Chains A and B, each alone.
Chain A
Amino acid sequence: MMKEAKMRDLTPDLRQRFAAIADHLIPACGKMPSASSVGIAGAVLDQVVQARPDLLTPIVRGLRACEGMAGAAAAESLHHDDPEAFDALSTAASGGYLMQPVVRELIGYPGQERVESPDPYATPSYVTDGTLKRVFDRGPVYVPTPGRKREAHGGTIAKDLK
């Protein structure tokens, strides 16, 4: 088993391999940029690994195993032979990609935002705006409890509904 990797293990060569694999996973397409064009293998990768240090060891292991391979072949090889490394690489690539403001702008995702908490004592709008009116009008509907008489139930039996 490989010992725990350190940030310094991400050599320029391994970062280049990471960029090639990331571009195979997230290529340029229509208005969307490729992973490498948003700097995926540089500061972005550092930022991802700082947030998810558990990804570093499988990433380094996977990249070392792909020496001499093109991005597509490396991705396919890891997907088949080392799913844990593939998951780490793909999570880092997509996570880093989606952290970039240019990407967020293009997909319309602003990121985590503070949302005002609704008043817990207020009557929910779906009760007052008529959304549930036909349910209130219809009344309760039951599936009979085994062993109890129909008369014991206070509403319509489900299978009697037309």
Chain B
Amino acid sequence: MRGAKWAVLPNGGPLSVSSIAGSKVFAGSALKETWGENYHRNLEQRLGRCMVVAIIGEDLPYETNRVVLDDKLTDTDGIPAPKIHYRVDENCRRLLTFHEGKVEELLVACGAVETMIVHQIRDSGWHLLGTACMGDEPSRSVVDRWCRAHDVPNLYIIDGSVFTTSGGVNPTATIMSLAMRTSRHIASGRRDQEAA
């Protein structure tokens, strides 16, 4: 387990009293829990009075999570399509479960009359990070600490793919900082830049 960020969000309009982001979070096993007279009760109780706490957990790097060339699927020119292998691992599950408990504690302390937990929301944004991991060791990373490819001296990779973990927060500010740091490094060392 490592870090995570909590993002506090509004719940949206009245349709969200029965579903949030396609999650069916409020859909109980019995129809009457969401519908019938309870529909009106839920509208009165939840509309404008709900908050969502989204947990952005830190995804650790696993060599089993990777992008490879698809052995069958190609584009119209016959170039293999990328194939993504990704599984949510046990550490992610434990991290999210830990934070779910803490968030629930917070909401109850704030006076929540009902709380719902969605372990993972399918209809949600995902930060696409990693696959060209930064590191000192060429056998275990793609770029060095200056985002330069270990294998190609004048190739720099500057985006979220150099992350060593997902970081547990939104990545854009870190990507921008890395871009500025790497750009300055490239500019300051331009006379000594090797060619491939």
Query: A residues bordering B, Cβ < 8 Å?
Result: 24-27, 29-30, 32, 75-76, 79, 87, 90-91, 94-95, 98, 107-109, 111-112
Contact = CB atoms under 8 A, between A and B. Distances in A.
A98 B40 contact: no
Contacts of A29: 37, 40
A94 B15 contact: yes
Contacts of A109: 13-14, 47-48
B39 interface: yes
A107 B35 contact: no
For the complex, would chain A's binding face be called helix, strand, loop or mixed by DSSP majority? helix
Given A30-B40, A32-B40, A109-B47, A25 B14 contact: no
B111 to A, nearest CB: 18
Contacts of A91: 15, 19
B13 A25 contact: no
Contacts of A24: 35-36
Given A79-B31, A109-B13, A94 B36 contact: no
Interface string B2-40: 000000000001110011000010000001000111011
5 contacts: A25-B39, A26-B39, A32-B40, A91-B19, A94-B39
Contact of B14 (A76, A79, A98): A98
**Which 10 pairs between the two chains have the least Cβ-Cβ distance?**
A25-B35, A29-B40, A79-B31, A98-B14, A29-B37, A32-B40, A109-B14, A26-B39, A107-B43, A95-B15
A109 B49 CA distance: 12
Contacts of B18: 90, 94
